Chain A
Amino acid sequence: MESNKHKDENMWEEKPPFLSSWKRLYSIVFLNLVILVLLFYLFTKIFS
């Protein structure tokens, strides 16, 4: 019972396997979106 509780707490606090914090990982995903929008805008402008 105790070890299950401990396992659950670990699940909550578990860090991402890369970039060391969730905030950083979320920022990367958001930044990727911004870059994609910018690239699509340039793509549309250049070729239209």
Chain B
Amino acid sequence: MSLFDWVVLGSFLAFVVLYGMWKTRGKKNIQDFLLANKTTPWYTVTLSIMATQASAITFLSTPGQAYVDGMRFVQFYLGLPLAMIILSVTAVPLFHNLKVYTAYEYLEQRFDLKNRLLGSVLFLIQRGLAAGFTILAPSLIVSILLGWDVQLTVLITGILVVLYTASGGTDAVNKTHLMQMLIITVGMGTAFFMIIYSLPKDISFLDATKIAGKMGKLNAITFDFDWKDRYNFWTGLIGGTFLALSYFGTDQSQVQRYLSGKSIAQSRIGLLANGVIKIPMQFGILFLGAMVFVFYQFALPPLFFNSVETTNVKKSAYASEYQILENKYEVIHNEKQAKIREMLDADKKNDKIKFSEAAESVNRSKKNALEIRKEAAGLIKKANPGADTNDTNFIFLTFVVNILPAGLIGLILAAIFSASMSSTSAELNALASTTVVDIYKRMIKPEGTERHYVMVSKLSTIFWGFYAISFALFANRMGSLIEAVNILGSLFYGTILGIFLIAFYFKKIGGSATFYSALAAELVVIGCFFFTDIPYLWYNVIGCVLLILLAHLVHPFVKKLSRPL
């Protein structure tokens, strides 16, 4: 990295932290600290919701996902707009009207204390670990590609976030989200234009899109139903709606964003705008990944994108075998490139027969290249049995570091760290709120002063910050990061959503029936994860539906048992 990149990255990080701390200093009461005094306008709510969801993983892993698997991941978000509508109708007015600080407070008002604690504890477990992932993901990837010490990167990112989140609470999180979203948009937009600019001069944008399409990377929608397929229209619409309902309706890191809205209307519009913008945004990021794929059809990509593992295998007993694979890969790459040019030529001459022959042979070469990549991953595993053979997360940043000019690398890194910090700050803020409001104030010290609770909230933010940092320091292998985070969420979200749906819609069902059914449903979901190969998006549906059914079955018996003799 050049000095200019360091200046861009360093000044942005310093500016965000200092701005966050200075703009939001002196919070004296808990409503101000945890809900920004309910003064946030809708556009800040929208950007804050988006910045919370879009972590660095989104920007590092998603383009790589498109490079490897095409754009079908966009279907994961199809349920989100429906969830935004449902939540605007139900949860937003309810939470605002009850004047709750956390979503789980409502569970006690509707059921009893044990349901509130169950909801809070499931959230704290899941979100506490996820916060660790959020800090680790960019640190790990950036460290590997730039040779930085991963532990130092984790510590710096984590401590910077803790500083302004503990200092200014929700207001600091919301205000810094605005700037972070701005830098993310500028960074990703610039990266997109640079990819198109870096293509060979005779390859137009339309040519690049055609190449990506013919090589199977623009598969945005498939209506074929396959139970075992992770991403198709049906899993996205059904599973995605359940996941989004649960994430936005019951996860405090999101609930807190729209609870800070000025009014019900402002919170609702904040959510609905997210429902309109989110899918095109994800489409754009995936399309960027497809264009990186096209770029690497004309420039030889590394056989394996994780440079540390490549260096390891080259120093091992398998070095010569790996070298042979690299040579083969280069030959196939050159053949493929020639065939792609033939394909474009045939397209320009409108020669359909030659075009489909060339397209077939391009896809044959692509298959051969994939086989060689698999063999390379096998060698990497032999050289280092602990190696992670999934290099999806390294693809985009490899392009950034190797191709972009000085200054822009700093800008993209600033965007990635912004994304990491924006999600982490919202997570820490929500973890602190739940700890203080649902556990500390409710169970340990109900009669404290406002100043005392603000202090405990700050300490709690620092505690969760160090918990997440510690997790990030000890975890190191994660496969595709964006999937890891979503799988972790899906293990718990179905059950939490089920509890809230019963609370909203099944007024006859009481606290005990819900509580025991929730425990049973959670066990089944965990069983599905360990003992079946059901795609993870369905866990949300299974957990939620099973909980509602069980609660209906158990309800008459629990009611009988709890009747006084």
Q: Is B482 an interface residue (CB 8 A)?
A: no
Q: Identify the stretch in B211-219, B249-257, B505-513 within 8 Å (CB) of chain A at 4 or more residues.
A: B211-219
In the complex, which residues 55-74 of chain B have their Cβ closer than 8 Å to any Cβ of chain A?
74
In the assembled complex, the Cα of A40 lies from the Cα of B96 at a distance in Å of: 36
In the assembled complex, the Cα of A15 lies from the Cα of B268 at a distance in Å of: 11
Interface string of B202-242 (1 = CB under 8 A from A): 00000001101110101111110000000001000000000
Q: Is A48 an interface residue (CB 8 A)?
A: yes
Chain B interface size, under 10 / 10 to 19 / 20 to 34 / 35 or more: 35 or more
Q: Identify the stretch in B272-280, B323-331, B445-453 within 8 Å (CB) of chain A at 4 or more residues.
A: B272-280
Interface string of B67-103 (1 = CB under 8 A from A): 0000000100010011011001100010011000000
**B82 and A33 contact, CB distance less than 8 A:** yes
Residues of A within 8 A of B93 (CB): 11-12
Q: Is B130 an interface residue (CB 8 A)?
A: no
Q: Is B191 an interface residue (CB 8 A)?
A: no
**A37 and B265 contact, CB distance less than 8 A:** no
In the assembled complex, the Cα of A48 lies from the Cα of B233 at a distance in Å of: 17
When A43-B218, A44-B221 are in contact, do A26 and B265 touch as well, CB less than 8 Å? no
Taking a contact as CB atoms closer than 8 A, the residue among B89, B223, B269, B280 that contacts A36 in the complex is B280
Tell me the minimal C-beta distance from A10 to chain B in angstroms: 8
Residues of B within 8 A of A22 (CB): 88-89, 268
Q: Is B283 an interface residue (CB 8 A)?
A: yes
Q: Is B263 an interface residue (CB 8 A)?
A: yes
Between A and B, how many residue pairs show CB distances below 8 Å? 79
**B233 and A37 contact, CB distance less than 8 A:** yes
Tell me the minimal C-beta distance from B507 to chain A in angstroms: 20
- In chain B, what residue has the closest Cβ to A47? B213
Q: Is B264 an interface residue (CB 8 A)?
A: yes
Residues of A within 8 A of B269 (CB): 16-17, 25
**B213 and A11 contact, CB distance less than 8 A:** no
- In chain A, what residue has the closest Cβ to B220? A40
Q: Is A1 an interface residue (CB 8 A)?
A: no
Tell me the minimal C-beta distance from A1 to chain B in angstroms: 14
In the complex, which residues 19-48 of chain A have their Cβ closer than 8 Å to any Cβ of chain B?
22, 25-26, 28-30, 32-33, 36-37, 40-41, 43-44, 46-48
Q: Is A2 an interface residue (CB 8 A)?
A: no
In the assembled complex, the Cα of A14 lies from the Cα of B269 at a distance in Å of: 12
In the assembled complex, the Cα of A30 lies from the Cα of B89 at a distance in Å of: 14
**B222 and A44 contact, CB distance less than 8 A:** yes
